[in-house]
Amino acid sequence: MAAELYARVILDMVSNAVDRPFQYAVPSHLAGKIEVGSRVLVPFRSRQMVAYVVALDREPLINNTRDIIDIQDPFPVLQPEFVELSHWLSRRFFSRWIESIHLCLPPAGEKAKARHVEKVLPLFPPEIMREESARLKSKAFRQALILEHLALAEEGLPWRVLKAKTGAGRQSLVPLIKRGWLKIETVPSESPLWDKPQVEGTISKKLTLTSEQEAAWREIKEGFTGRQKQFLIFGVTGSGKTELYLRAAEEALKRGRTVLFLVPEIALTPQIIEQLKTRFPDSFALLHSSLSPGERYEQWLRVKRGEARVVLGARSAVFAPLSNIGLIVMDEEHENTYKQSESPRYHTRDVARWRAAYHDAVLLMGSATPSLETFLDTRRKKAKLLTLTRRVEGHRLPDVEVVDMRREFGAGNRGIFSRSLRKAMEETLHRQEQIMLFLNRRGFAGFQLCRQCGLVLKCPSCDVSLTYHSSPEHLQCHYCGYRRAALQFCPQCKSRYLRNFGLGTQKVEREVQNIFPGVEVVRMDSDTTAVRGAYDRIWSSFKEKRASVLIGTQMIAKGFDFPGVTLVGIVAADITLHLPDFRAGERTFQLLSQAAGRSGRGAQRGRVIIQTFTPWHYSIKAAAEHSYKDFLQEELKRRKLLLYPPFSEIILINCSSLQEPKARLFAEKLKAALAESLSIVGEKETELLGPSPAPLFKIKDRFRYQLIFKGINLQQYAGIIRDVVWRFSQETGEEIRITVDFNPMMML
């Protein structure tokens, strides 16, 4: 007897060959149990495979359909919304459908296992561990790194953290355990960040709105019933954007709707976490990757069951299984971290817009330095612009001084700090106020160079210099993770004249300690915050004024509200300015403006000192004047002239191979195939550029060539590009890797 129902499924296999629905019959014993979104087991060729139901049919589409074997879960793991969303996302961002489905699935639910972690504990005092580390450095570098890191963490480290920090494997750990230096224990995992006691001084009541906030709030509130659903709150730092977010969340809950609150990085928003937890104590959930698998699954289930109606998270939280969404907040909407770097290479803003439209929800985006794309959307009437020009409580924006470091060099100052910044630091510390020093590079120095032969020590797998780190001392590639011991002799000419060049947060920290001995200094970068809870300890130390100076990377440029900070020093404003990327000027302006905005948020007037070798650049001048308008005018003029986003769209296609000639040859062949297919549809106002070597030409032993397809409304060509690229991939096999990125945030 023929089946009464048929299911179209997507196989759980990441392969171009099966990136389409397959139809199976629903057997009678599973009738009524299988729905759209169900995870099922199906026969495929000679084996059984997991698949996801994406549609149900009453009629067969093919002859001799095979039966579904079984259903895998008591409830559909995908909401019908996510079936639609995953298909749209895969087509827009050039991924396989199953890769997009994976984004929407619940996290791994092995709760019992996830509740415990392996922790590596030192068995000797720190000084003895360091001595053994120094002895091992020349013959067992990874073991030496393990001991040095554990000497810094006397209470031990989780193995997954230690592994990530050192690049070591079990083969390096086991000998140290056998020789009695370490032991490993299985211990309960720690509580999530937000389970800690509330930070003293947390805002728990509504604040009185300024006149600008009141005007913006009226527009937002009207959005819940009106046609205008998308808003951009363009507000200077400290202007009270968060209070508008919180009021909008309360309004959505009052209307029986749910709230999705997105932030660029979850670790950087302790104040928002505390405010949400205080205002919505019984319906708040936190979704982010730092939770253990079991914790993530429990939070996901709370959201799925409707127990948590306010969800806070970073990029991946945009796929939270909320139903009846009334509000989506996207704080710091300009941030690069909202763009996924691996396939599917989606942008959170695009997914948030899709979900807001699906639920007829209000989308509230906020930034002191909006992306050009979003700001231009307000001119095109796609979003409503709400402007906040003044800080709350009458606090004034800080005074900004730009120091030309060429003149400092000419005056004989070879130090990290200009005379102006050093004097300002002395005065600030004398008044017992706090300082933040911003540098967008971690580590101790940019690179090691031989002053005799000119050799720069590079990663053997990537076309980049190795960064020198002083604690523990080593050289590291921040692209592939390669590490090696720091050298005393040049490997090329054998001279002793190796020197560390460039700046890093560790070097700045050491310089502050040398100039101001006895002053408590804390450093915040991805090295110091790798251990769970480290960020919270550093943040609390500075918040409670136990530390007077905070040094950090872009981590400290956003989300920090410390009233005691009256001086911000931007040590090297040029680091991001000269990258070979058309967004370099925008990124520099955003970082400088956000970092400057940390100063003067209390009763005392703030001061900012920007050190630069290019004081004439429009990004730096506009940031110093707190003038987004000046920056916007200049940047839009340049983008329009060169037809770059937001006046066009870009598809970046990367071809890589272990052999440089093959990478170049196949990139040329791919360009020819694309040009031929695109000419058939008669594309207009488009350019297909390249191939050219990628700015980062070699990464992880692979040579990289780029093609750039630039034009208007490129989505109309997505199907053609997709077919050509994937057909080409099948012909070349694993030897050539091809990636496609729609509207990339980085061109490197």
At position 713, the amino acid (one-letter code) is N
Mean pLDDT score, 32-50 = 94
pLDDT score at 199: 40
Rounded percentage of the chain residues whose pLDDT exceeds 90: 46
Backbone angles phi, psi at 652, to 5 degrees: -100, 120
| pLDDT at site 628 | 93
Is residue 223's pLDDT more than 90? yes
Rounded-to-integer distance, Cα 698 and Cα 463, Å: 5
Structure tokens belonging to residue 558: 């956003």
CA 639, CA 372: separation in Å to the nearest integer? 10
Range 597-617 average pLDDT = 88
Residue 391: pLDDT band (50, 70, 90) is confident
3-state SS assignment for residue 680? helix
Of 666, 664, 652, nearest in space to 730 by CA = 666
In this prediction, residues 598-626 reach a mean pLDDT of 90
* pLDDT higher than threshold 70 for residue 197: no
Q: Pick from 231, 220, 286: which is nearest to 255 by CA?
A: 220
Q: Does domain 649-742 have CATH number 3.30.70.600?
A: yes
Instruction: Look at residue 202 and tell me whether its pLDDT is greater than 50.
Output: no
pLDDT band at 114 (very low <50, low <70, confident <90, very high): very low
**Mean pLDDT of the region 338-363:** 95
Q: Does the structure show a pLDDT above 50 at 622? A: yes
Q: Which residues, in sequence order, are CB contacts of 194 under 8 Å at separation 6+?
A: 273, 274, 277, 286
- Tell me the pLDDT band of 56, cut-offs 50, 70 and 90: very high
Least trusted range by pLDDT, from 109-113, 324-328, 454-458:
109-113
Closest CA to 244 of 273, 216, 270: 216
- Going by their DSSP bridges, the two strands 473-476 and 483-484 should be labelled as antiparallel
Query: Which CATH code is given to the segment(s) 6-104?
Result: 3.40.1440.60
Helix (H, G, I), strand (E, B) or coil at 637: helix
Q: Report how far residue 206's alpha carbon sits from residue 729's, in angstroms, rounded to the nearest whole number.
A: 56
The pLDDT confidence band at residue 72, using thresholds 50, 70 and 90, is very high
Task: Look at 551 and 268; give whichever has higher pLDDT.
Answer: 551
pLDDT computed for residue 206 by the predictor = 66
Distances (CA, A) of 572 to 180, 403, 499, 521, 588: 45, 10, 20, 19, 11
Domain residue limits, the chain: 6-104, 116-188, 212-387, 399-443+503-640, 446-501, 649-742
Helices (H), 137-280: 141-152, 159-166, 170-178, 211-223, 241-254, 270-279
Token couple for 432: 């017992």
As a whole number, mean pLDDT of residues 583-598 equals 89
Residue given tokens 């992880």 in the structure block: 700
DSSP string, 112-158: HHHTEEEEEEE-S-HHHHHHHHHHHTTT-HHHHHHHHHHHH-TT-EE
pLDDT in tens, 720-741: 888 898 888 888 776 889 999 9
Cβ atoms of residues 8 and 55 within 8 Å: yes
Residue 466 has pLDDT above 90, yes or no: no
Matching fold, domains 399-443+503-640 and 649-742: no
User: Which pLDDT score, from 0 to 100, does residue 154 have?
Assistant: 65
Question: What are the C-alpha distances in Å from 134 to residues 137, 138, 257, 472?
Answer: 5, 8, 59, 10
CATH superfamily of 399-443+503-640: P-loop containing nucleotide triphosphate hydrolases (3.40.50.300)
pLDDT confidence bin for 112, thresholds 50/70/90: very low
* CA–CA distance, 163 with 173 (Å, rounded to integer): 9
User: Picking from 113-117, 436-440, 585-589, which range would have the lowest pLDDT averaged per residue?
Assistant: 113-117
For the chain, give the mean pLDDT.
86
Per-residue burial over 579-609, b if 16 or more Cβ lie within 10 Å, else e, is: bebebbbbbbbbbbbbbbbbbbbbebebbbb
Task: Please give the backbone phi and psi of residue 284, each rounded to the nearest 5 degrees, phi first.
Answer: -105, 135
Provide the pLDDT for residue 139.
83
Where does the pLDDT of residue 446 fall: very low under 50, low under 70, confident under 90, or very high at 90 and above?
low
pLDDT band at residue 10 using 50, 70 and 90 as cut-offs: very high
What is the reported pLDDT for 312?
A: 93
Q: What is the 3-state secondary structure (H, E, C) of 356-405?
A: HHHHCCEEEEEECCCCHHHHHHHHCCCCEEEEECCCHHHCCCCEEEEEEH
Residue 586 pLDDT exceeds 80: yes
- Is the per-residue pLDDT at 445 higher than 60? no
Which residue, among 630, 647, 650, has the nearest Cα to 639 in the 3D structure? Answer: 647
| Highest mean pLDDT pick, 91-105, 274-288, 433-447 | 91-105
CA separation for the pair 68, 502 (Å, rounded): 61
The predicted structure's pLDDT at residue 116? 61
| Chain segment 642-693, per-residue pLDDT in tens | 889 999 999 999 999 999 999 999 999 999 999 988 876 666 678 899 899 9
Planar angle of CA 589, 607, 520, nearest 5 degrees: 105
Class of domain 212-387: alpha beta
